[in-house]
Amino acid sequence: MKKLILIALAFSLSAGTVVKAQEKQSQKEIFQPIYLNSKALVASENYQFVAHVIYNDQGRERLNADENSIVFKGSEVSGKLHSFAKDKSIVTIKASNSTTTNSFDDDNQKISVAIKTDRYELAIEVKPNGNAVLTITNKEGTVLHYAGKLVKP
């Protein structure tokens, strides 16, 4: 009788594991709602990049999100982003005639945005989990990388 109870207990535990394994979602399924929200935000051409970190091959530095953002509204781009503290510089972007190219890779859930202004080229890569990387290149060739998020302004 004890063996029968142990066998029944073993089957009940393994059945729970099988059900759990079948319920597990793929990473693509988990990130699908986030990707669709990001895609809709970029397609609206009315969003804000909020920077949390600046980084390069030398290191990274946390930024105050309240003071480091760029707003994209149609062909208008405006905002300020701090550089590394040791550089004590601020990138100020204000353009009313930028050109924007959006690319949506639905299979890999990645979004690419390229923006050209008269002084800067900006590239935004949005990952499936909603994190975004902004790369800014000025006319002199200086490149800055920022990690952050896209949000509604």
**Model confidence over 102-142: pLDDT tens digits?**
999 999 999 999 999 999 999 999 999 999 999 999 999 99
**Model confidence over 75-94: pLDDT tens digits?**
999 999 999 988 888 999 99
Measure the CA–CA gap between 118 and 133, rounded to whole angstroms.
21
**What is the CA 23 to chain-centroid distance, rounded?**
27
Q: Is the pTM of this model over 0.75?
A: yes
Measured between alpha carbons, how far apart are the two ends of the chain, in Å? 67
Measure the CA–CA gap between 64 and 85, rounded to whole angstroms.
12
**Model confidence over 31-50: pLDDT tens digits?**
999 999 999 999 999 999 99
Sequence ranges of the domains in the chain:
26-151
Q: Which CATH architecture has domain 26-151?
A: Beta Barrel (2.40)
The residue ranking higher by pLDDT, 11 or 71, is 71
DSSP secondary structure of 14-66: HHHHHHHHHHPPPHHHHHHHHHHHHHHHHHTTEEEEEEEEEEETTEEEE--GG
pLDDT-derived band at 15 (thresholds 50, 70, 90) equals low
The residue ranking higher by pLDDT, 22 or 31, is 31
Measure the CA–CA gap between 39 and 151, rounded to whole angstroms.
11
User: Buried b / exposed e across 48-78, counting CB within 10 Å, b at 16+?
Assistant: bbbbeebeeeeeeeebeeeebbbebeeeebe
The answer to whether 138 and 119 are in contact (CB under 8 A) is yes
